[in-house]
Amino acid sequence: MFLSVGATTVIEGGQTMNPSTEDFLHAIERENAEHIFILPNNANIVMAAQQAKQLATVPITIIPSKTIPQGVHALFSFDEGIELAKNEKNMVEALAEVKTGLVTYATRDTMINGMEIKEGAFIGLNDDSIQVTNEHKLTTAQLLLDHLVTDDDEIMTIFYGADVTESELTLLKQFVDEKLDEDVEFEFHQGDQPIYSFIIMVE
């Protein structure tokens, strides 16, 4: 997805396997560019990107994206025909224009916002705030979508993970088709990501 909308290098990483400062520096060297924009797409990676910026021999602009959807939306805002400062402003502003929904699982029993969450249960997050929990993956995704999507939204993209079965995908597509306002465009992409069954991008 990132390469298709303009990125020239994608560094492998994610939860539990965050890239290092050295990984960033190697990628920067391979680019051989006059100026580089970095989109971390994860709050835990921002610091490594900032350290790489300090050590790099070329100018670096870091767009502090904390999720995959934020990074995608920011990249859509990039325009190679305008000056760097304007691009940075547009891309940073774009971060606030997208909502990120995540479906994953709880690693321990806990109580959050009055919700009792059991270890192994699925949880649905709106950005970094847990909104719903359920023992079933598909139900969690459906409940989260009810929280995420409003009448003001126009586009929704769902990246489905490695643990999602064909039948689960079919049922979720049917749910989205029936529940979403006809003015909301939606599409599904095979992400094959671990940890997160669904990454939901709402614009």
- Same-domain check for residues 42 and 55: yes
Q: In terms of domains, do 27 and 70 share one? A: yes
Q: Which domain holds residue 51?
A: 3-96
> Does 157 lie in the same domain as 106?
yes
Residue segments in the chain with a per-residue pLDDT below the cut of 70: 14-16
User: Are residues 81 and 120 located together in one domain of the fold?
Assistant: no
Contact 123, 140 (CB under 8 A): yes
Cα–Cα distance measured from residue 70 to residue 175, given in angstroms and rounded to the nearest whole number: 25
Q: Are 132 and 163 in contact (CB under 8 A)?
A: no
DSSP states along 165-202 = -HHHHHHHHHHHHHHS-TT-EEEEEE---SS-SEEEEE
pLDDT at 16: 67
Same domain (yes/no): 44, 57: yes
Query: What does the pLDDT read at residue 113?
Result: 81
Q: Which residues pair with 100 in a beta bridge?
A: 201
Partners of residue 112 on adjacent β-strands: 115
Helix (H) / strand (E) element for 145: namely helix 137-148
Length of the chain: 203
Q: Report the pLDDT value the prediction gives residue 32, as an integer from 0 to 100.
A: 87
Q: Are residues 194 and 152 in the same domain?
A: yes
Tell whether 84 and 164 lie within a shared domain: no
- Indicate whether 91 and 113 sit together in one domain: no
Domain count, the chain: 2
pLDDT digits (tens, 9 = 90+) for 71-83: 999 999 999 999 9
The pTM (predicted TM-score) of the whole model is 0.92
